[in-house]
Structure 1
Amino acid sequence: MKVRTTFVTAGTLVLCLAAAGCGPDGGEDGGAGGRATASRTPASGDGSAATPGATAAPAPTPTTHGRTLTEAELAKVVLATDEVAGYEIAPLEGTDERGTEEPGDKACRPITAIINGSPEPAPAATVFRTAMDTREEGQDDQTVVTEILTSHPKGGAEELLRSVRDAVRACAGGFRTTSDDGPSTYTEVKTLPAAGAGQESFAYQVTGSLEGVRVPLVFHLVRTGSTVVTFYAANYLTATAPEVPADLVTAQAAKLP
């Protein structure tokens, strides 16, 4: 999970951020809402040893008893600078507008919803952050991870993880989308090993195509109670899968009530 650039796109939050517009198929923002990342190091096994399903791990006993957190409460439990050594945490700009990708296959909608920056089922509250590795300041492949915290009414958080798992299986062979900025192509979707965190975790890779070049996007979802954290990283410099650092995942999961 390494990045190179800022994240704005032409009016939409494209998770796959890029400087002059990014996105599979070379569309101006092609559709992944937010930050383009470039990577030097592959994710665990680069996905080749992918394990199906989620990797669950024990979590601290929730003090909210699964209560749906407000936006103010999410802001209190999101990671802050200095809580993970070497990372600067900052609000993500441009989140008022989200991506508009719609898949040709409805089975892939849970995946595109996250790409758009709008996980489904619709959350009750959302907080966006970016985590940047300050030790790599000035490098073309500086690590930048986008983080989305969402709180959900009863059952919604579990449904989000369940629907994404189903979509990853259903859309393994790839899919196409249309958006306000044109069509996009994703050639492959696969499960990745997930760092054990929270009460439930799941990781996967979506491979896009930018002017014929392979663009890997990696997502790591963690659920505790009614809160889901989605970590996102992309690589626009090479075809190597980016990595979402386990220390970010585990530190954020530990803060969830």
Structure 2
Amino acid sequence: MTKRRRARGTGRAGAQKLRAAVLAAVLAVTVSACGGGADGEGRAAPAGTDSPIAGSASPAATPAPGADASAAPTARPSRSPAAGAAVDLEAVALKPGDLAEFRMVDVPPIRTEPARDVSPAACRTVAEVRREAYDPAPSALVRRYAVATRGEHLGTGTQVSLAASTEDGARAVLAALRDAVRACAGGYTGDGRGTTAVTSGTPLDVGDESVSFHTSGRGTPTAYVLVRQGSVLLRFAASSATGGEPRMPVPVVVQQVMKLRAATD
């Protein structure tokens, strides 16, 4: 009897630790585009904020104060000039069961504002990509959270976004971002935050092209990967629940790009 009680206690403790890790990962990856921050870095939600994974079976993140969710781009089909076929972003976004070690959480569309007061001005594109304030604005935008529930990425939460654009527009965003990352090696100030350091990363060999960079400063360090697949921009922002240096979960990036590519081939 004593052994069975101990086993049940151990099982409950393990489950509690897992739930705590999942919750912490979601809170850490709450970025400005979906939670009211100003710079796109993962940050813990303020006390009293509803967690995206708390409560119902259909979780949703809490919009930023004053954000007009109805004004955000809707998840309607877009057309990829490269593939010549309609792409329903909602249909190709990662869903529960797509990745065994990750829990997928829906995030509602929220309008984002352009970055302001960024200095030097050459860094503005970095700040706006972190906010998902693309130019040109996407015609459709779908967001997910990928929360690692076990495995080597346990404790990491990744925001996954798919933005529909034109192929020329998507190419222009990636080209401007590459230039901005190179220009911002010394970091930038403004945009409502202190100095933000920007470090270039090694692009992943996925999609038609990609750009990787890392930000640190006030708040939680965040790793970013931007991928262009045809006319669709995919943005991945990963943060660690511990506040330490994050590692981008490559399986999340690869699986999402593969799902999109399969729908356009």
Runs of 4+ in 1 over 4 A off after TM superposition: 8-11, 66-70
Alignment pair present for 1:188 and 2:197:
yes
Shift of 1:13: 5.8
Normalised by the size of structure 2, how large is the TM-score?
Answer: 0.66
- Helix, strand or coil: the match of 2:211? strand
What is the letter of the counterpart of residue 188 of structure 1? A
The equivalent position to 2:119 in structure 1, one of 78, 81, 104, is 104
- Identify the residue that residue 151 of structure 1 maps to in structure 2: 164
**Is 1:92 matched with 2:107?**
yes
- The structure with the greater share of residues assigned to helix is 2
Partner of 2:174: 161
Whether contact under 8 Å (2:224, 2:238) holds in the other structure is: yes
**Aligned counterparts of 1:106 and 1:224: Cα–Cα separation in 2:** 28
CA–CA separation in structure 2 for the residues paired with 1:176 and 1:216: 16
In the TM superposition, what is the alpha-carbon distance from 1:174 to its structure 2 partner? 0.7
Read off the aligned partner of 1:162 and give its amino acid letter.
A
For 1:157 and 1:8, locate their aligned partners in 2 and report how far apart those are by CA, in whole Å.
22
Aligned to 1:76: 91
CA RMSD of aligned residues (A): 3.1
SS of alignment partner, residue 89 of structure 1: strand
Structure 1 residues 18 and 111, CA gap change in structure 2 (3 angstroms): same
Say if 1:220 and 1:244 are closer, same or farther in 2 by CA, change over 3 A.
same
Structure 1 residue runs without a partner (length 5+): 22-33, 36-61
Q: Is the CA contact (8 Å cut-off) linking 1:92 and 1:128 kept in structure 2? A: yes
Distance in 2, Cα, partners of 1:64 & 1:234 = 33
Does 1:171 pair with 2:184? yes
Structure 2: any 5+ residue segments left out of the alignment? 1-21, 48-60, 63-78
User: Is the alpha carbon distance of 1:255 and 1:236 closer, same or farther for their aligned partners in structure 2, counting shifts above 3 Å?
Assistant: closer
For residues 208-233 of structure 1, the C-alpha deviation after alignment (integer angstroms, 9 at most, x for no partner) is 224xxxx4211011111101110001
In the alignment, the residues of structure 2 paired with residue 177 and residue 151 of structure 1 have an alpha-carbon distance, to the nearest angstrom, of 28
Task: Tell me how many residue pairs correspond in the alignment.
Answer: 203
Q: Which residue of 1 aligns with 2:44?
A: 18
SS of residue paired to 2:145:
strand
Percent identity, please.
27
Which has the bigger relative contact order, CA under 8 A and spacing at least 6? 1
Aligned to 1:122: 137
Distance 2:167 2:147 in 1: 33
The aligned counterpart of 1:219 is 224
Which residue number in structure 1 is paired with residue 234 of structure 2?
A: 229
Q: Give 1 or 2 for the bigger CA radius of gyration.
A: 2
